[in-house]
Amino acid sequence: MAAAEVTTPKHPASGRTITVKVKRQRTPDAAAVTETFAIPYRPNMNITSVLGEIALNPTTTEGKGTTPIAYDANCLEEICGSCAMLINGKAMMACSALVDKLTGPDGNGAITLAPLSKFPVVRDLAVDRSVLFENLKRVKAWVPVDGTYDLGPAPRQFPQVQEQRYPLSNCISCTICMEVCPQFNDATGFVGAATIAQAKLFNMDPSGAVLKEERLRALAGGGGVQECSFAQNCVQACPKQLPLTEAISDMGRDVFVQQVKDFFRR
Ligand code: FES
């Protein structure tokens, strides 16, 4: 019997190209320009691989040589939260945004890439999202650990509490909830859904609860939980499906109760 012929799988040689329009900015203060690239299509490409193709041959469709596009990325599997950008005008993660879902029903639509609009541009698609980390510091979004000695086993948690906390622990700090929130702007100083959700996560932790009152006071007043207008954009856009509006409601109630307690303690 003749041996079966072994063939090496190959990508279909479609000859198709993808048109990608990228909003670019060389420095934080430079004027933005749009450059257009034609990228050879491969099955299962995501936006990170498109940006990699541009880096291999940074030449625009007009034949002008340019520089590779600056953007943030690390894990390439929607865990680190660094690659958020506007893809066809929508805040998404570049590493999980698939080209086949972005080029329209005939596969010929252009893809547009731009930096998140509510954060200072560092360069091209890379933005400065340090405001999130300042907000997390404001609400002390951590479990205080004093010293490096062995603390022994952590306190037990009821399974019902674990089930509520686990989805909140999936936050990847991508800032998409802040980008899509109409209340996240300079006028309100709103801390945003991610920060409020993390405050709830740590308030429910048996060890983290020692800072519960401080977190609730940090979320009272200007920029706090009261700024939420329940547009619910955050919960729809979150790439990890965090129960953000539920967290904001719960924290709104807890902040109010804390304010009443503080009033009677005066
Ligand atoms: S590279 Fe880490 S989330 Fe996209």
Report how far residue 97's alpha carbon sits from residue 30's, in angstroms, rounded to the nearest whole number.
Answer: 28
Tokens of 74: 């690390």
Q: Which of 49, 71, 77 to mutate to test the pocket of ligand 1 (most atoms within 8 A of CB)?
A: 77
In a domain, 4, yes or no: no
pLDDT for 108: 85
**How close is the Cα of 43 to the center of ligand 1, in Å?**
20
Residue pair 251/168 in contact by the 8 Å Cβ criterion: no
At 134, give phi and psi (nearest 5°).
-65, -40
Total domains in the chain come to: 2
Residue pair 170/240 in contact by the 8 Å Cβ criterion: yes
Which ligand 1 atom sits closest to the C-alpha of 84? 4
Q: For residues 144-159, give the mean pLDDT.
A: 84
Position 11 confidence tier, pLDDT thresholds 50, 70, 90: very low
**How close is the Cα of 87 to the center of ligand 1, in Å?**
14
**How close is the Cα of 176 to the center of ligand 1, in Å?**
13
In a domain, 208, yes or no: yes
Which ligand 1 atom sits closest to the C-alpha of 73? 1
- Residue of the CA atom closest to atom 3 of ligand 1: 78
In a domain, 6, yes or no: no
Tokens of 68: 């590779």
**How close is the Cα of 82 to the center of ligand 1, in Å?**
5
In a domain, 12, yes or no: no
Residue pair 253/245 in contact by the 8 Å Cβ criterion: no
pLDDT for 14: 66
Which ligand 1 atom sits closest to the C-alpha of 95? 4
Indicate which CATH number applies to the domain containing 51.
Answer: 3.10.20.30
In a domain, 164, yes or no: yes
Assess whether 227 and 144 both reside in one domain. yes
Which ligand 1 atom sits closest to the C-alpha of 79? 3
Which pTM does this prediction carry?
Answer: 0.91
Assess whether 114 and 168 both reside in one domain. no
Q: Could you tell me whether strands 17-24 and 121-123 are parallel, antiparallel, or unpaired per DSSP bridges?
A: unpaired
Vertex 88 angle, CA 105 and 187, to 5°: 150
Assess whether 35 and 159 both reside in one domain. no
Residue pair 252/225 in contact by the 8 Å Cβ criterion: yes
Report how far residue 199's alpha carbon sits from residue 221's, in angstroms, rounded to the nearest whole number.
Answer: 15
pLDDT > 70 fraction of the chain, expressed in percent and rounded: 95
Report how far residue 238's alpha carbon sits from residue 168's, in angstroms, rounded to the nearest whole number.
Answer: 11
Indicate which CATH number applies to the domain containing 136.
Answer: 1.10.1060.10
Report how far residue 159's alpha carbon sits from residue 166's, in angstroms, rounded to the nearest whole number.
Answer: 10
Least Cα distance to 12 among 140, 102, 107 occurs for 107
Print the domain residue range for 187.
130-148+155-264
In a domain, 236, yes or no: yes
Residues with CB under 6 A from ligand 1: 73-76, 78-83, 93-95
For residue 3, pLDDT beyond 80? no
Report how far residue 82's alpha carbon sits from residue 212's, in angstroms, rounded to the nearest whole number.
Answer: 29
